[in-house]
C-alpha cells in the first residue's frame, strides 16, 4: 500500500522504487524528472520557448509512476510480494 501511494503521488521522483530497494531504477526516474525540467527550462530560455516541449520527459516518467501505482493497488498482497519483493521485478 505504501509503495502504491508513493508511486501515485511521487512516482515521477521514483520514491516507490527507493522504498522497494530498487535504487538504480529510482535514480533513473528522479534524473528523468529533474533533468527533464532543468533541460526544458535551459533550452526554453535559449530558444525562446521551444525547449519547453522537453517537458514531455518528466510527464512520461510521472505517467509511468502512476501506472505502476495502479498496478500495485490491483495486486493482492501475496502477489505483490511474490512479484516485486521476492521476484525483484523492477519495472511494471
CB 3 within 8 A of CB 19: yes
Indicate whether 88 pLDDT > 90.
no
Q: What is the pLDDT of residues 40-82, one digit of tens each?
A: 999 999 988 888 888 999 999 999 999 999 999 999 999 999 9
Give the mean model confidence (pLDDT) for residues 6-31.
96
Percent of the chain with pLDDT over 90: 78
Is residue 5 within 8 Å of residue 69, measured between CB atoms?
yes
Q: Is residue 28 a contact partner of residue 10, using CB atoms and an 8 Å limit?
A: no
Amino acid at each position: 500500500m505504501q509503495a502504491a501511494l508513493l508511486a501515485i503521488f511521487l512516482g515521477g521522483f521514483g520514491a516507490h522504487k527507493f522504498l522497494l530497494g530498487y535504487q538504480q531504477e529510482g535514480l533513473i526516474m528522479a534524473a528523468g524528472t529533474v533533468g527533464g525540467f532543468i533541460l526544458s527550462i535551459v533550452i526554453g530560455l535559449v530558444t525562446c520557448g521551444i525547449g519547453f516541449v522537453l517537458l514531455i520527459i518528466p510527464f512520461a516518467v510521472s505517467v509511468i509512476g502512476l501506472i505502476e501505482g495502479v498496478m500495485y493497488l490491483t495486486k493482492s498482497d501475496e502477489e505483490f510480494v511474490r512479484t516485486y519483493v521476492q521476484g525483484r521485478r523492477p519495472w511494471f
